[in-house]
Amino acid sequence: MRKTIPSGKNVYQKRKICRFCADQNLPISHKDYPALRYFVTERGKIIPRRISGTCARHQRKLTRAIKKARVLCILPFSASSV
Amino acid sequence: MRCYETCVIAHPEMSETDSEALLGKLQEYVTAHSGTVLKLEKWGKKKLHYAIKKQLKGNYFFLCYMGNQQILNDIDHALRFNENILRYQTIKADSAAVIAGDSPVPAAGEPDEELRPAARELESTPAGEQ
């Protein structure tokens, strides 16, 4: 993937792969804490897809799952300072 | 008929008989309106990520069923006015996934092994066997 940085140079970056597209059988569940933890920061924020590499479709599903998990106390809304 | 799943967080000090009575009542509501219970799980006591009603631990129950709006109303009414219930959430579920047993073992909060012997046993068995 070619990217242009502010200085005008072209930088080549490896394209990130959506892990849910790579493995179609991988479920997105709001009850699966170990899987969801991978997509939130230590403070409990949802990691943007430009960083995690998740595709738009799966990021939407993931976001809904994380928000449901927060209601059930499976994930924090905001973790207290470490 | 749609498939729904209800997750209940009960008070950690709720007695065994009370919780059994509650689960019995919920199942009764489902069957009373010609619904079917697909799954009933007890996840046990787990640490909560934030306090609910000043409690830092909760007793989790999980119920999956086919049903209609009347069942949802009854369950909602039963849980809302029960002081032992910290929180509950009902969502529409994918019935095919539930029937296939595709329900990952939850692990809320930090893994609290001492409190979750039942869940640990489930984790050790491969997912396909459930």
The alpha helices in chain B, defined as continuous H runs, are 16-32, 69-80, 95-99, 117-124
Q: Quick: pLDDT tens for A7-34.
A: 877 777 777 888 899 988 888 888 888 8
CATH classification number, B2-129, choose in 3.30.70.360, 3.30.70.60, 3.20.20.140, 3.40.640.10:
3.30.70.60
Q: Which of A31, A36, A71 to mutate to test the interface with B (most CBs of B within 10 A)?
A: A31
Q: What is the model's pLDDT at position B106? A: 53
Apex CA A68: angle with CA A29 and CA B106, to 5°? 45
| Burial category of A37 from C-beta neighbours within 10 Å (exposed 0-12, middle 13-18, buried 19 and up) | middle
Any bridge partners for residue A47, and if so which?
none
Task: Answer whether 0.80 is exceeded by the pTM.
Answer: no
B108: three-class secondary structure by DSSP: coil
Choose among A29, A33, A35: nearest Cβ to B108: A33
Q: Nearest CA to CA, how far is B70 from chain A (Å)?
A: 23
Q: Quick: pLDDT tens for A45-73.
A: 999 999 999 999 999 999 999 999 999 99
> Residue range B96-114: average pLDDT?
53
